[in-house]
Structure 1
Amino acid sequence: MRILFAALALLVVAACDPQASTRASVGPRIGDKIREQETAMNVALDAKDADALVAFYAPDAQLFNAGQPAATTPEQIRASFAGLFSDGNGALSFETTDVILPSAGDYAVTQGTYTLTYTDPQTHQPVTMNGNYITLWRHQDDDSWKVIRDISTPGLQAAATP
């Protein structure tokens, strides 16, 4: 009888968890939502729309691009994208290769590859580089998902041929 009472008490406590109703259920739908958002981010990149890109980031997000200072405010994240877009050759695209969904459902991690093109300040020629990224998404109270950490690292680049 004590075991039954203890089990019932645990069930009641779990049912009264105030966060239980706000947690996202973990499953393929979340992965699909995240992939849809990353596709929309690529559309905003193609349109060179820094404001649309900033909307994917939470107010406390941080953007870490190789060779650049961390962008830790919405204004700095906007300026990072705007700087790329002001370059006549500036372009960025990425491809999601994996979506990782921890069991709690409050966070999601994406990883993939990116291609970045920019003008080399010394040669004034376009340079294209490839790399990898990891993005951490957080589930929001309004059931949306926002980026809270966005980290990229360049891959090995082919040596220039003489």
Structure 2
Amino acid sequence: MCSLIKLILTPIICWYGMLFTHKLGHIAAALLTDATGINLHFPLLGFPQTIVQHNPHPLLEIWAGPTLGNLMPLGLLLLSIRAKRFQNFAATFTGFCLLANGAYIGLGGIDQIGDAGDLLRHSSPLWILILFGITSISFGLYIWHTTLKRHRISTSTQTATY
């Protein structure tokens, strides 16, 4: 039963955690760049939206979402490794955030949707969005791969000692 609960809750926590860190990046950059009229619409179901009425540095605010949405989970993963606690969950969450942000920016640039569309409208070159996507997705998959590999080794070691 506990495994079933983890199986159900983990993707939900990862999804909302990724949305939270991504939106926190937008809001932090908007506040730091003296943007005004900052509103966050965060529905329980659906996609959240950060609305900034006047933004003197829109590229910085837009890039901060996916960038901090990747860096904050990476920081959490490093803390969990150092503390030797919750490493598997932190790695799962971090990998998810890297994959989601990478796909959102890298693939979103092709259809010019969401943040990727805003970045392109503010003169970010498409190749940078694609490079961000490839890099984020690659690191996310690498983190998931090494976590799964470490989990398999620790599980086989525990089984062998009994």
How high is the TM-score relative to the length of structure 2? Answer: 0.28
Say which one has the larger Rg.
1
Name the structure where strand makes up a greater proportion of residues.
1
How high is the TM-score relative to the length of structure 1? Answer: 0.28
